[in-house]
Structure 1
Amino acid sequence: MSDRIEDILKKAAEGISKMSSPSSSKTDPGAGSYPGDPNCEICGGIGYLRQDLPVGHPNFGKLQICSCRAGQLRKQARAGLFKMSNLEELAHLTFENFEIRGQIGLGKAQADSLEQAFNHAQQYAGKLQGWLVLQGPYGSGKTHLAAAVANFVVDLGVPTLFLTVPDLLDSLRFSYNNPESSFEERFEDIRRSPLLVMDDFGTENATPWAQEKLFQILNFRYINNLPLLITTNLSLNQLEGRIR
């Protein structure tokens, strides 16, 4: 996955090496082919600026990227990361639209617990350290909070993978049984993702193979101190012993 991420960032910035040094930042008849914002008052749409530096300076002759172009590159990079994250259908789930106490029929104790989970999720998104387990019954907002964390960090440029555990295992099974698909590559993408979100943990078909793969993923992330977010409707005591 890291190789794919690097490819996205390289493609987003490849215009740097293809641009010849402009003699000025003024627009010309061919300015439409330049990568910058055509309405930018700084570069006139070229996207890059020549730095006024003395001969002998290490950056002499090098172009400086304009703020308008830098913003475009960040947007392109985030779009690439978002596409890889599996968050397309969950893009609308954010911290801003999460209703802590607005759910119908929610008692005070449940509302207090939900508010605590919300605060933990926000703090986790800001630090992205260790593991976070969101536990509760169906419809309690676990997936919304998990998606909010994922959407937040992807927007910051952190490569993320959001998968329900049944879908994760189905993906691995398909790769394992399909000679045209690389199981090892898919498995590495999942367990090495800078942030991995495993939604609906405990709803998977608990075959020995499935348990083994889940254990390998969790164990790898634990040993390598990689952040992991898990949602489950089961209590921790209900989870299989070695992956609890």
Structure 2
Amino acid sequence: MGDWGYCIKDCKTCGGIGYIRYDVPIHDENFGKMFPCPNRKFVEWDNTIGIDVEEAKTLDWKSYIQNDAIREMRRAYDNVLERGWGWLYIHGEPGNGKTIMAKSATVYARNVLDIPVKYRKMSEVINHVRSSYDADNGQGLYLKRLEEWSRLKMLVIDEVGRDRQTDFSKQSLSDLMDARYQSSIKKRSITVWVSNFAPSEIFESYLLDRVADGRHFIVHIKGKSVRPMLDDTKTLSKAWWLDY
């Protein structure tokens, strides 16, 4: 008998055995077959992805009420994930679901599509490469860390343009975008940029030209923030039915 494995505690899908069987007619090709429980992925969850496992368990975009903003973002993510390469730039007002959908896309890419992926805020990436200069071999370590970010199959970067840009952060962002761009046009990687600002409000012409490449996707989410409508009885996912 094979390894039945384990699942998340008190899993309601498989009862904890790690496998499921579908209720299908006897003539169906899946009749009588056992399949890994989708929640087993969380047993081996790697928090270095950038999302805590307990939060990741809640990030199922199928469970959100499907308003226009959620549907538009889901289509955009599906397009770039199905193609398997390219850039997706999503922007719009704060509080309209960009972050929760970015995190949900990260979980979906990892658990369903088996795509190596990391989610980070822009400031976290910049701070990581900037701290390399605290070491004696700062320039070498900077290039090494930049390479680490550049070679990821999928990288989701949130809060682009939120923090004040210094000369160093501008140069680091330029280096990162250039490396991710070269990887993208060679059809090797996916990069998602999430921001409250349109590309033209953040980037200089050189980088703006890369974002606006016709092979990439730019999506403007026009929904307003739902946060003012929340109270302590509503989670963010419960608020997606609100008409905004």
What interval of TM-score do these two structures reach, taking the shorter chain for normalisation?
0.5 to 0.7
Give the match's secondary structure for 1:147. helix
- The aligned amino acid for 1:230 is W
Partner Cα distance (1:125, 1:96) in 2: 16
My pick for the range that moved more, 83-92 or 190-199, is: 83-92
Tell me if 1:85 matches 2:52: no
Partner Cα distance (1:222, 1:203) in 2: 21
- The aligned amino acid for 1:202 is G
Correspondence for 2:194 among 200, 211, 231: 231
Give 1:169's aligned residue.
126
Percent identity between the two aligned chains: 17
TM-score by length of 1: 0.60
Partner Cα distance (1:144, 1:126) in 2: 20
Report matched runs for 1:129-148 at 5 Å: 129-148=85-104
TM-score by length of 2: 0.60
- Which whole-Å deviations, capped at 9, do the CAs of 1:48-95 have from their partners, x for residues lacking one? xxxxxxxxxxxxxxxxxxx99x969xx579826x33311216412221
- Which whole-Å deviations, capped at 9, do the CAs of 1:135-180 have from their partners, x for residues lacking one? 1111011111111111111113211111100111112222332459
Report matched runs for 1:1-244 at 5 Å: 36-37=3-4, 79=44, 82-88=46-52, 90-91=55-56, 92-101=58-67, 112-155=68-111, 156-179=113-136, 182-225=141-184, 226-241=189-204, 242-244=206-208
Q: Does structure 1 retain, via aligned residues, the 8 Å contact 2:158–2:195?
A: yes
Q: Does structure 1 retain, via aligned residues, the 8 Å contact 2:50–2:119?
A: yes
- Once the two structures are TM-superposed, the CA of residue 186 in structure 1 deviates from its matched residue by 2.5
Aligned length: 170
Higher normalized contact order (CA 8 Å, seq sep 6+, divided by chain length)? 2
Cα 1:234–1:37 shift into 2, 3 Å: closer
Give the match's secondary structure for 1:126. helix
- Once the two structures are TM-superposed, the CA of residue 236 in structure 1 deviates from its matched residue by 2.0
- Which whole-Å deviations, capped at 9, do the CAs of 1:182-229 have from their partners, x for residues lacking one? 433322221111001110101133111111111111111111222100
Give the match's secondary structure for 2:130. helix
- The aligned amino acid for 1:238 is E
- The aligned amino acid for 1:84 is T
> Could you list the runs of 5+ residues in structure 2 that have no partner in the other structure?
6-32, 209-244
Q: Which has the larger radius of gyration?
A: 1
- The aligned amino acid for 1:36 is D
Partner Cα distance (2:123, 2:59) in 1: 21
- The aligned amino acid for 2:121 is T
> Could you list the runs of 5+ residues in structure 1 that have no partner in the other structure?
1-24, 26-34, 39-66, 102-111
Partner Cα distance (1:243, 1:203) in 2: 17
Structure holding more helix per residue: 1
